[in-house]
Every structure is written in C-alpha cells, then in structure tokens.
Amino acid sequence: MRPFFLSILMLAGMPALADPMGLERVNALRDVQGLKPLVYDGRLAQAAQTHASDMAEHDYFSHKGRDGTDVGRRAAMAGYQWCFVAENIAKGQQSLDEVMTGWTDSPGHYRNMVDSRAEEMGLVQADSEVWVMVLGAPC
C-alpha cells in the first residue's frame, strides 16, 4: 500500500514523505501523549522541500531562508493557510532513525512533534543529509 500511496503523491505533483515511516514515528510519539495522529499534507511537504533543497544547494543551515522567509511564510507560499505552524530541521543524519532519535532527544524538536495544535505534517530529505519537517494546522 505504501508504494502505491507514494506513487499517487508523486503523480499528483506533491513531494513524497522522506520516508512514510516518519509519519508513523511521529504519530507513535503523539499516541503516547494521548494526542490525535497527524496526517500528511503535500503543501507542508512542499514548504519543507523548498527549504531543504535551498539549504542543501547553498550549504547553509538555518530556520530562516536565504531570502529571509521563515516557516510560516514558506507554508503560506505553498498555499497552506495556517493557524499553527512549526519546523524541525536537521543536517548530517544519514537515516530516518538517526534524525528521529535526534529530534526526539531534543526538547524543542520533540515539543514541536507532540504539540497538540498540530494536525498535519510534511517531512522531506534533500541531498541525503538535510531534513526538514513542517507541522501545521489549517485555519
């Protein structure tokens, strides 16, 4: 089922999750906290992809884009009308396990993943070592 789902996303022109297990891993963390599971959103993934690709291509690492945009602006530019938005970024991790362990062990990143306001997410990987997760809730 997962390969079929990812094929449909790619045909629809939406970025696919870096790994569909990423959504499952975040939802497992949320379940322990008694929170609703997140669902994939292609617009949040597009916002994540834009930033991940830019960081990988221009060799920088920051929540602020080279053009001065923040996660809220990038989400809006991807067509996502948000009432809540948050971003986790990572660089250097070679696998989903490594990046999820790092984010789970970091209080700020963990807090984003288990924020009760979050309803949707996009997770992408660029150049094999830049990861961006954008979480949000629409208005």
Express each pLDDT in 68-119 by its tens digit: 999 999 999 999 999 999 999 999 999 999 999 999 999 999 999 999 999 9
Q: Which of 121, 116, 102 has its CA nearest to residue 15?
A: 121
Average pLDDT across the chain, whole number:
89
The pLDDT of residue 17: 54
Task: List, in order, residues 6 or more apart from 87 with CB less than 8 Å away.
Answer: 48, 51, 63, 71, 112, 132, 133, 134, 135
The pLDDT of residue 112: 99
The pLDDT of residue 118: 99
Q: Is the entire prediction scored with pTM above 0.75? A: yes
Q: Is the pLDDT of residue 20 over 80?
A: no
Domains of the chain from N-terminus onward:
2-138 (3.40.33.10)
